[in-house]
Amino acid sequence: MDLVIENIPFLLKGAYYTLLITVVSMFFGLIIGLITAVARLKGNRFLRMIARVYVSIIRGTPPLVQIFIVYYGLVDYGIEFGPLTAACIALSINIGAYVSEAFRGAIESVPKGQIEAAIATGMTDRQAMRRIVIPQAVRYAIPPLGNTFVGMLKETSLVSSIAVTELMRSAQLLVSQYYVYMPFYLAIAVMYWIMSTFFTFILHKIEKRLSVY
């Protein structure tokens, strides 16, 4: 236990990168997911097909493979990213597919009568989507998005495979230095749990604040 206490600053630095990757990936994942959801519901045939294929491929392949494709595979075509950038790109693309399904379900749950009423008042279909549908869909999507966000936090451990010094990689480096496993892995398990609990609490507060009474 003394080794863990002695190396807390190093583990906290790893936790910082874990949070950074999570927040950045979720931010861009939300944008990708919303665009994909709207494309599947309101786009032309070509856009709907592209969106469906994207979601199918991402949901049907392991996140670790996607990380390797972005970090190692693109190098074959002259496209090279640093480990941290590659991690954020791969996880953003990954999470975007799951977020799109959450948004799609939320958009479809908005009563069609509200859209018809908005159009009857003179709004275009695009205006009705932006002013009426999406604000309500965001509220409906908060619970599944919360689960996705917490899942993303834990999936960041996969980027240790491309030498990003996040929390998991930090523990691996300490294990290789001291040849002691249990204290460090238990320590990061507790840190992941604390971060997950904190985000769950924050998302619950957001959901409660945005809930429709």
Q: Which residue in the block uniquely carries the two structure tokens 């807390």?
A: 8
Q: Where are the domains of the chain?
A: 2-210
CB 187 within 8 Å of CB 11: yes
pTM: 0.85
Predicted confidence (pLDDT) at residue 46 exceeds the cutoff of 80: yes
Side chain identity at 200, as an amino acid letter? T
User: Which pLDDT belongs to residue 81?
Assistant: 93
Within 13 Å, how many C-alpha atoms sit on residue 63's CB side? 24
> In the predicted model, what is the mean pLDDT of residues 18-28?
94
Measured from the Cβ of residue 12, the count of other Cβ atoms closer than 10 Å reads 12
Predicted confidence (pLDDT) at residue 34 exceeds the cutoff of 70: yes
Q: At what angle do helices 8-42 and 182-210 cross, to 10 degrees?
A: 40
Residue 65: Cβ-neighbour burial (10 angstroms; 0-12, 13-18, 19+): exposed
Cα–Cα distance for residue pair 149/192, rounded to 1 Å: 13
- Is residue 45 helix, strand or coil? helix
Q: Which residue in the block uniquely carries the two structure tokens 């399904």?
A: 101
CB 162 within 8 Å of CB 83: yes
Within 13 Å, how many C-alpha atoms sit on residue 82's CB side? 4
Predicted confidence (pLDDT) at residue 76 exceeds the cutoff of 90: yes
Cα–Cα distance for residue pair 53/18, rounded to 1 Å: 29
Q: Classify domain 2-210 by CATH number.
A: 1.10.3720.10
Cα–Cα distance for residue pair 1/203, rounded to 1 Å: 33
Predicted confidence (pLDDT) at residue 182 exceeds the cutoff of 60: yes
Residue range 136-161, pLDDT digits in tens: 777 777 777 888 888 889 889 999 99
> In the predicted model, what is the mean pLDDT of residues 169-193?
92
Q: What is the number of residues in the chain?
A: 213
Cα–Cα distance for residue pair 161/4, rounded to 1 Å: 22
Cα–Cα distance for residue pair 149/25, rounded to 1 Å: 10
Predicted confidence (pLDDT) at residue 15 exceeds the cutoff of 80: yes
Phi, psi for 167 (deg, rounded to 5):
-65, -45
Cα–Cα distance for residue pair 119/113, rounded to 1 Å: 10
Structure tokens at 188: 């990061």
In which band, very low, low, confident or very high, does the pLDDT at 213 lie, cut at 50, 70 and 90?
Answer: very low
Q: Higher-confidence residue: 176 or 139?
A: 176
Predicted confidence (pLDDT) at residue 13 exceeds the cutoff of 90: yes
